[in-house]
Amino acid sequence: MIYKTFLLLLFPIILFSQNKSYKVIGVKDGDTVEILMDGKPQVVRLSHIDCPEKKQPFGNNAKQFASDLCFGKKVKLSTGWKKDRNKRLLAEIILSNGKNLNKELVKNGFAWHYKKYSKDNSYDDLEKQARKQKLGLWTDKSPTAPWEWRKSRKKSSKPTLSTIAKSK
């Protein structure tokens, strides 16, 4: 009985939160935006996808594409939010026209399906289509996935024995 009462009380809260709109006040890069939530800035990391980093080819294109679609506009967030280790909200962003920003980035060749953190195969299908049509980053002969690019940057920034010896 308590469980049913709890669910009945929780249902309107869930229903209300699904219809709430938030203004996009910043686009940090292709897969990270900032919204105004309850009067405070909140960083949102787009779930299911990974866009090229700003210093990678197509990184600025991905940021511009996302910005063109959502900056300064009201958007809705998918339900079931979680936060990542950087305290960013993980969500899909639904634009005022009903389109999903996360999927639009993949569909237009500005993001990879981030399979490590997503089991949603619709993103995989969108990526395959964009690759086939050679859209966005898929015009590059051998694009580097952002997670590989980040990993290679970490390796190159670690001090080696020779660089340690030179600094002494």
- Cβ atoms of 50 and 112 within 8 Å: the answer is yes
Return the pLDDT at 2. 59
CA 97 to chain centre: 19
Return the pLDDT at 79. 84
CA distances from 157 to 11, 45, 92, 113, 164 (A): 50, 25, 33, 27, 12
pTM of the model: 0.81
What tokens does 68 get? 């063109």
88 included as an active-site residue: yes
Q: Which of 45, 92, 104, 127 is catalytic?
A: 45
Q: Which of 34, 53, 92, 104 is catalytic?
A: 53
Q: Write out pLDDT tens, residues 115-164.
A: 999 999 999 999 999 999 999 999 999 999 999 999 998 877 655 554 44
Return the pLDDT at 155. 79
Mean pLDDT of 52-68: 97
